[in-house]
Structure formats: structure tokens, C-alpha cells
A and B are shown apart, each in its own frame.
Chain A
Amino acid sequence: MRVPLSWLREYVDFDLSADNLADLFSLRSQEVDGIERFGVLDGEVVVGEVVEFGQHPNADRLNVAKVDLGGQIVQIVAGAPNPYPGARVPVVVPGSVLADGRKLKKAKLRGEESNGMMMSERELGISAEHSGILLLDDSYEVGRPVSDYFPVGETVLELDVNPNRPDLWGMIGVARELAAILNTKFEVPEPVFDPSCEPTGAYTLRVEAPELCPRYDLRRVSGVRPGEKAPLELRRRIHAAGMRPVNAVVDATNYVMLETGQPIHAFDAGEVRGGIVVRRAHPGEKMTMLDGHTRSLDEEMLVIADEERGLVVAGVMGAETAEVGDETTDVLVEVATFAGRNIMETSQRLALRTDASGRFERGLDPNMVDFAMNRVTDLIARTTGGEPAPDTLSFYPEPVEPWEVPLRLPRAELLLGMPVGEGEAAERLRGLGCEVEAGEGKLAVTVPTFRRDLTREADLIEEVGRLVGLENVPESLPRAPQVGGLTPEQRKLRALRRLLADLGLHEAVTYPFGPDRWTRDLGLAGDVGAPLKLQNPLSAEAGNLRRTLLPGLLDAAARNRSFGARGGALFEVGHVFEPKEGPEGMREYALRYRMRGEMGPDAEVPPELLMGVGESNKVAGVLAGIVRAAGWNVPPKPAGFFEAKGLVERLIPGATFEPRTTPFLHPGRAAVVLVDGEEAGWVGEVHPEAAESFELEGWPVAAFELDVAFADPDPEPRFRAFVNVPAVSMDLAVVVDRDVRVGEMLREVAALGSPILAETRVFDVYEGSQVPEGKKSVALNFTFQAEETLTDEAVKEELDRVSARLRDAFGAEVRSG
């Protein structure tokens, strides 16, 4: 809501700078988004009469005027060509400060002196008009300050009005609010007019959809001078409030809307056939609206029509038919209240939001209609020479009455945490327009119908609190009567993130929605069906919910590559989403659960199925390119399967790995991660084809993804006894077939159950010239430990057992040397 301060001052008296007023409003009522200034801020604008006007001697596009400022004639150089001898013009004198902060000085323009400036409407803040100098009529007296006629400068506060306060969408409401804050009076101009002339009753009014239209009033103003322009001050205010002046009738409706918050529509009565009908749109009814678009309506939409055709989509926008134009001499004025929700839905379905629809959506006070009708018909009559009808056709079957809300002061003190005086509370609420009866710590508060947001005690307590001042609320620090803390799972997650960061990965947070290619390029399309989709994504590139964290991290890696990175390691902890098929016939229960929180026919159906979404928390890492740059004494470390696997082994000690192909992973370098036989996730090198489609071609890319629930980065320690007897270390190199898995060899060694074998380590795997074709050499190191010093024979015997076992199981031959 734009609040021109000169307008506000007409209703309430205040002695505050714009900045102070803005602060006060912010601390007591609504946030002020900004302060805008127009026209001349400081200085003088005088009515002048042009005496001479002619071409500048040295410049084709400039003119020189001699202007009488009332006894004093000054020379002014002007760009605009429209003044003429005898014309009255506003002249701002040197020394004045303009809205942009510029101070006007005496100047010489191409050799001609210029003492001041003749002003356009835009320069005075009257309108956006800037094609010529504003020409004043003869009622402006030469030599008098223009501010005697209208303000030459304006300051506008931009209020960010909360949606529960439609009363503040009008100047009257704002004035009432300011008066309540300042604890002072405000006064609204009373419309005075003498209804006469043609009766409205020559037309009919029929409301066929009362459920969508609580009130509809119609009044006629006849004898309007066609094409009349609204008076300058009225246009100036409309402009300052952010609207565009049109003609006297439309400007009057807009002016009263800005004043009261109540949208008003005016019809050209001459075009209305028979009378006004308020009805639902016919199925398929079409209307060509003021913005030139033809829209198709349906029965859920309310239409204001005459006996033959639709004239307006109620509360949203009018059709071209029956709009007030330059020929209009007879006007029908509509002031009405519509069902807010219906207006909102209509405006959403038509994708047409207007100033009016925005106001109706909030739900307006039907009792405001009387004042607004009187005010607007008065204004139209006064500005156009029209005559308002003596009668108003009114449909208002169920008048809204003020309601009573009790307020207990101890309750107010409890909620606000500060003392609240009975007298002060009553006075503050009266300032807002309530009637208050006080007594015994209780207030009986009658709420005016324009404050539909005040229905409960808590609502009134809020009003008292903010008007007394929230700075008076003392600070106190309650402590919860419970032990706070993270759950074991939450602590694990913290440790996991910290560990990955310590291991050199950078934590990313990426969007969970992405393009179709996420599914396609990972080769997932065929396997698992379509991902969950957003109905209204911001773009087609962001419509699918991720089922793995991988694509977002690959996109990030590609982005880093495009900016010159040689590689990097990223991780993310985040949710992934799977469609879940509910049981047959559950749709109705699902919708009840989603809309009303009700469970299914029996509590056995898990919410996940009623949601149709499986959501789980994952941790994923992507290692791409050179993961760690070379140092002067260390080689660079490229991404690879075993780098990623090492990370998984740190996150889940004791995990086991089995080869498993996945469409987006290298078929020979991919494994499923198992914890006690359960799948915890996967690890592998990204398939070169997938890497290429994510613009990572030629780079080694390895990744893992784990269910967070399985991660155990810092397991609870458990002490194991050790003995102070030297251990014996022995190496054993064996040659086996190339495709023998070392993991299975180790499992076989462990299966021996040797009482003295403390640790087995793989320290070399070799294929090449020293080893026969199709074979590989695996070098193992064993640490033997017993409670007494081991003899050479005992160790040799155990090592022989190991070799024999490997030979039996894998045909392993011990390499000599």
C-alpha cells in the first residue's frame, strides 16, 4: 500500500518526519518497505504567466521564455515547445531542491540566462506526463505559490501490509491505525450530496448466486459530462498512490478504492440492457476483457451481467462492453462484496490477478459498502456535474453485525510477559475502533466489522501488545525441563559429515529436482520407472525428484571442470525420493490422509503408502579427476574405485563388498556395500558413457552412495587384551589365476581360525613379466602373535597351513624368494 503523506495528513494530524513515521509504523504496525519522494522537496513553485516565448538564438531545440512571476519578470530557457504568451505555468525558483536531490541553480544555457524552470506534470509529481509544461487554468493567480492549490512535493510510504489486514489497504484504515499508534484522533471526510435526478430504479438488480455475493449495491449517476478529466489534485493523489489516471468517473472509483480499500466498478448505464444480474458464468461462456484477451469461463466463476450478456468477471476484470468511456453520460456504480476464496480461485484459474481481485481475495467488510457508495457517487457528481440518483438498489440479505470478544487481562499479561493496565488496554482497543466495556480484569470488546481478523482473545492481546510497544516486553530465558541433545543417529550424522570434510571432501547442497536427462543419462529410465514429478516446476529442467544424489553432484563436478578445476571431491547428505505404489483401492484413504491427516481404514497401512512416496536420507560422494593435487614431494591422486571404497570403509567399518553391476557404473568396477547381509549402498567408478553425458568425459570419476542409517563413522570402542610378547611378521607371495578374488582368499585364511594369526595384510598384487600369462601374484603379510614367544618352527608350521589352504582352495602356488 502506497501512502502519500499529504493525503494522510488530511485525515490525521502528526508531527513526524517521513523517516520517523516509517520507523514508528514498522515497530507498531506494518513494515515499511521504502520511502519515495516526488516533485519539489524544498523551495518554492510559483504560478507564472508567460509574457514572451520564442526560439533560443543559439539552439534549435531550446526556447526562451519571459515569465511574469507577479511583479517580477524572469527569463527561463525551456525544452518544451507548448507554452505560449498568456499561458499560466508553474515555475520552480532557483535554490529549490527537487525529488532526486538536485538543487536548482541559476544557469546560462547556450549563452542565455535561465532563472528557474517551468515544470511538467512528472516533475511536479502529478503524473507520468512529461511531453510538455503543465498549463494551469485561469483560476491560478499569477505570483501565488502553487502549493496554495496542490502540494508540489510528495512523500510516499510503501507499507508492506500483512494479509490479515485488508483494512490497511485504504487511506482511511491507515489513518485510523496511525491515530491509534499516536493515541490521537483521525477524521474522515463525510460525503455531502443532494441526491436527485434519474432513479436507479429504472434498472433492475437480481443476484442469482448469493452464496458468492454477500452484498451488491448499485446506484446511478446521470448527467455526467462526457470525457471529463478529474481535477488535478485527485489525479495527483491517484498517481502518487501508484495508479494511472483515466477519466473522471474511473478516477473517482479508483480514488475511493484507495481511500477505503473497497474496489468499485462503474458501468456505462446506456450500454446496460435491462438491469444487472449477478450470476454464475454459463458453461463455456466467453468474455473479451479489458486487456484484449478473450477468456473462457465456467460455472465456478461469478459474472456481473445484464439481461443479455456478461459485463464483468466479478471482482477480477471487466469486459469491453459497457465500460465507461469518453461518450458516457449516465453511469451505474457497483459497490459489492464477493466471496474471497471464489475470487482467488477464479483469478488463479484465469491467471489474471488485478488490484481488485487481490483486495476481494482477503475478504472485505460488507458494511463498508454504504460509505464507499456515498463517497464515490458524491465524487463523480462533483467532478463531472452529474447527479446521483435518490435511490440505491441493495442486495444485502444477511447483514454482518459487530461481534463481541472477551479479553482477560491476566491472560494478556501471560502471553505478552509484561504488565498490561486495564485502562491502557481499553484505550488502545478503542483507538482501533472497538467498543470496550471494562471491569474486574476483564474487557468486553465489540469489534468493528472492518476488523475481521479480530475474532479471538489472542488477536486482541496482539493488538494491545504492539500498540503498547514490544520494546517493553522484558527478556527472560526459560530452560527446558528435559535433557537436550542429539539422538545417536543425529550424532552419527554429524560425525560422518565432519569425517568426510576431514578426509578432504567438500560438502555441497544441491537441488533435489532436475531434468529428464538425470534419469536417462544414468541409464535408469528402463529399470525403475518414472521418478516423482513436480506438477509446477520452475522449468522443464527441474521437474523430476532425485532418486539418487549422484546426478546433482556430477553436475557440480562438471561445473567445476568448466571453470578450470582439475578435479575435486564433493559430498552431500540429503533426501532422495521413490514413488511408492499403494495397495489397490487406497486412493480415497490416501487423499483423506493427505488433506485431513486421517489414517487409513486400519492403522496398519503405513503413511508412506498413503503418501505414495518413499523418502530416505543418503550420503553420497563424488571423486572426479585429480582428487588431490601433486605436492613437490607427493604424486597427484586421481579418482578411482579404491579411493571411493576407502571412504566407504571409513564410514562403515566392517562393511563387505560384492561385485554388482548398475547401469551408471563401470561394469567391472562396481560393488554393492553390505552390512550384515543388508544392502547399505553402492560404490564404484562411474560408467565412462554416463560420465561423458555429464560432461566429465576423459576424467576418472568414482562415487558412492550409502543409506545414512548404516553409517557408523565413529563406532563405540571395545577393549581387546594384548600381550607383551614380540609379534612375528612373515610375508607370503602366491601365484593364482587372474580372476581369483583376493577378498575370497582372505576369507579363506580367516576361516582357518589360526590361534596365533593376529593380522593379515595385502601388500602387493602383481601381473606381468615375472608371472605366467593369466596369473597374478598376491603378496600377503601375516602378523603372528601368541602369549609366549613363538618358535620359528611354530610360525613356519602355521604359514604352511595357510599356503596349503590357499593351494587347496585356489590352486595357489607359493612363489620362491
Chain B
Amino acid sequence: MSVVERIEELKTEALSALADAGTTKDLESARVRYLGRSADLTEIKKGIRDLPPDDRKAVGGASNRATKEIEAALAERLAEVAVSEREERLRAEAVDVTLPGVPYPKGSLHPSLRIIDEVVDFFVGLGYRVAEGPEVETDYYNFTALNIPPGHPARGMQDTFFLDDGLVLRTHTSPVQVRTMLSQEPPVYIVCPGRTYRRDSDPTHTPMFNQIEGLAVDKGLTLGDLKGTLAAMARHVFGEDVKVRLRPSYFQFVEPGVELDVSCFVCGGSDPNCKVCKGAGWIEMLGAGMVDPAVLSEAGYDPEEYTGFAFGMGPDRMAMVRYGIPDLRLFFEGDLRFLQQF
């Protein structure tokens, strides 16, 4: 067998070994065997200078070509094997994607306060500011300044909690409106959210509840402005399609006094068994009215120059309607089964 033939044989052998090698490790041992320092082909190359000059060229050319071919095949196979090995590794790394993820903490905000935040944001968008005040109030701010002097029958309706003489737990957030009017000149545009208290406890009343009241005093404000403002608020909270209606009502510190109903956003009045509106088609939402001239005067505003409207709503009840909560008492028990739903 000539040397050139032997080279050809080695090349064939090497290419076949490379083709059979399935791992990076196999390929490395093939490389050592066929291209390594003591490989046959290497030995042949080392012996070239000892060959007769006529053979040198042929053997040199053949051995170089064979080396290149083997190197090329090796590189190709290495790349191929790397891909399959990576695929294999990734297959082994697969996880059960249906297992739960790492539990990041998830708390909640109280449903009434979610409603308060939403209503407050709506009025802030209209240019209102948020006013706050104490929960222990004086008799004066809670009643007298609101056109409810001592001995007035409306006091009896309010089931007030009393503290030391002349102090009460506020029965509404209206005293905040009085405090605001006394401390600034008109125009006034405020909303007053907060806790209020009445001495009442049954399935539909809790001795504490949340309230949002609002007050706008300016030149030329009308009942139409009240209606439009509250209609927009109702649509903001209960959806674009709801309608509102006004009914006459009575609150000592407004005149005229009205109540505002919102059309049932669940059934629209079409379901006589509707849980939300009880088939009436309307949901009682809030009390409101044009600020009584006596209240404006008490605050030092001229009722001939300024008019205004005031309104009060119950975010607890709004949350009940909006989220489908059946029982008011749930709001104030701190029960996690309730709270974590919001």
C-alpha cells in the first residue's frame, strides 16, 4: 500500500469515526486519534522530510488535504453535537409549569375606602379639594351651625353618641363643611370623606359608618348643577349608562332638599326579583340639596350673593351595591375572609 493510499484510508477511517461520534467527548477522542500528536497522519507528516524528494510533494499534498478535510468535518460535527447536547440539557431542565409561582404578598384595601378613593378622585377631577375634621365634634358644629339648634326635633332623629357636655361623636361629616366655610371665603368646592357615628345597631345599621359629603358654594350655582354633578359622579362609579332622578326630601341644612336615585345598573329595572334594586329599578343613593340660606349666613356668607349645593352619600352602601355585599356588618369585623376579597 502506498503512503498516499494509506493517507486516504486514514482519512476515510477518521471521517467515519467523526460521523459516528455522538458527544463532544467522542469527538475529542477522535480528534486525538486522527489529528493528535501521535496520530498516524501526524506521524506520516513528520516522516515526509525523510521521503524521497519525488514522493514528498504527493504525500505532502495528500496529507494536508486529508488534515483539512478531517478538521472541517470535525468542526461541523462539533457544532452539530453542541446543538443536540444543549437541547438535551434543556429537556432535562423542564419544570412543571402548573406548580404555583413564588407567592408575592397580596394585601387588600377596604371596600368602603376603595369607593371613597374613587369618588374623591372624581371630584378632584372637577376641581374639588378634600377637607377633613375631627370625629369627636362639638354640639355647635355638629348641630347648631347646621340649622339644628338645641331642642330641634331633627336632633332626636340622629341617635347621637354623647361624650362630656357639649361633645358628640359626629353624626355626619357636615361639621367639616361648616369648619371649612368658617375658615375661608367662597368659592368653596370640597368633599369630606370620613367615619360617622349613630347609636343604631341592627342588620342594616352599624353604630359606625362611612360618609362622603360634598359642598359647592359659588355665585349662580343651581339645583341643575347639583343634579348634573351627581349624575356624572354616579356614572363614574356605576357605569356610563346609569340615569338619575331627584325626589323631594328633607334635611335641615338644605332647602330645597332632595334625594338622588340611580337607575339599577344590574337590571335596569327589568327584573322584578333583582337583588340590587329589589325590582324597583332605582337605587337610593344619596341625600342632597341647595345649602340653606341660614347655614350660609351662619358661616358669614351672603346668601343673596352666593348659592350652593351640598350632598352626602354612604360609601359602605355604595360598596354593597357595587360589589354585591349582602351585610353591612361585615365591613367592620376585620374578617380576613371578607377583606381579602378586595
Residues in chain A within 8 A of chain B (CB atoms): 26-31, 162-165, 340-341, 344-345, 348, 361-362, 414-418, 456, 458-459, 461-462, 465-466, 470-471, 473-487, 490, 494, 497-498, 500-513, 532-538, 542, 545, 552-553, 555-557, 559-560, 563, 565, 568-571, 574-575, 577, 590-591, 593-597, 611-613, 615, 628-629, 631-634
**Docked-complex contact A631 and B124, CB < 8 angstroms:** no
**Docked-complex contact B248 and A512, CB < 8 angstroms:** no
**Docked-complex contact A533 and B107, CB < 8 angstroms:** no
On chain B, the residues within 8 Å of A498 by CB distance are: 109
- A-facing mask of B304-342, CB < 8 A → 1, else 0? 000100000000000000000000000111111101100
In the complex with contacts A465-B223, A475-B231, A595-B166, A162-B249 CB distance below 8 A: yes
**Docked-complex contact A473 and B224, CB < 8 angstroms:** yes
On chain A, the residues within 8 Å of B290 by CB distance are: 415, 458
**Docked-complex contact A628 and B103, CB < 8 angstroms:** yes
On chain B, the residues within 8 Å of A503 by CB distance are: 105, 107
**Docked-complex contact A501 and B126, CB < 8 angstroms:** no
- Interface residue B256 (Cβ < 8 Å from any Cβ of A): yes
Partner of B332, one of A466, A510, A595: A510
B257's nearest neighbour on chain A, judged by CB, is A462
The 7 closest A-B pairs by CB, nearest first: A556-B334, A504-B105, A417-B224, A594-B166, A480-B127, A417-B222, A462-B256
Q: Report the bound CA distance from A511 to B138 in whole Å.
A: 20
Partner of B331, one of A485, A509, A563: A509
**Docked-complex contact A458 and B292, CB < 8 angstroms:** yes
**Docked-complex contact A477 and B248, CB < 8 angstroms:** no
Least distance between B335 CB and chain A CB atoms (Å): 6
On chain A, the residues within 8 Å of B245 by CB distance are: 27, 470-471
Q: Report the bound CA distance from A416 to B99 in whole Å.
A: 63
On chain A, the residues within 8 Å of B151 by CB distance are: 341, 344-345
Least distance between B88 CB and chain A CB atoms (Å): 25
User: Which secondary structure dominates chain B's binding surface?
Assistant: mixed
Least distance between B317 CB and chain A CB atoms (Å): 14
On chain B, the residues within 8 Å of A509 by CB distance are: 110, 112-113, 195, 210, 331-332, 334
Question: Which stretch from B3-11, B46-54, B155-163 is at the chain A interface?
Answer: B155-163
Other than A26-B247, A634-B103, give 17 A-B pairs with Cβ distance below 8 A: A27-B247, A162-B249, A416-B224, A471-B246, A475-B231, A480-B216, A480-B218, A500-B107, A504-B106, A506-B336, A507-B110, A511-B332, A534-B162, A534-B163, A563-B335, A593-B138, A612-B167
- 9 inter-chain pairs at a CB distance below 8 angstroms, sorted by A residue, are A475-B231, A484-B126, A486-B130, A508-B334, A560-B334, A575-B134, A575-B135, A611-B138, A612-B164
Partner of B250, one of A164, A417, A475, A595: A164
On chain B, the residues within 8 Å of A165 by CB distance are: 250
Least distance between B310 CB and chain A CB atoms (Å): 13
Partner of A538, one of B145, B207, B333: B207
- Interface residue B123 (Cβ < 8 Å from any Cβ of A): yes
Least distance between B282 CB and chain A CB atoms (Å): 9
B105's nearest neighbour on chain A, judged by CB, is A504
Least distance between B260 CB and chain A CB atoms (Å): 10
On chain A, the residues within 8 Å of B222 by CB distance are: 414-417, 476
On chain B, the residues within 8 Å of A30 by CB distance are: 248
Partner of A484, one of B129, B157, B163: B129
Q: Report the bound CA distance from A348 to B153 in whole Å.
A: 12
On chain A, the residues within 8 Å of B332 by CB distance are: 509-511
- Interface residue B221 (Cβ < 8 Å from any Cβ of A): yes
- Interface residue B125 (Cβ < 8 Å from any Cβ of A): yes
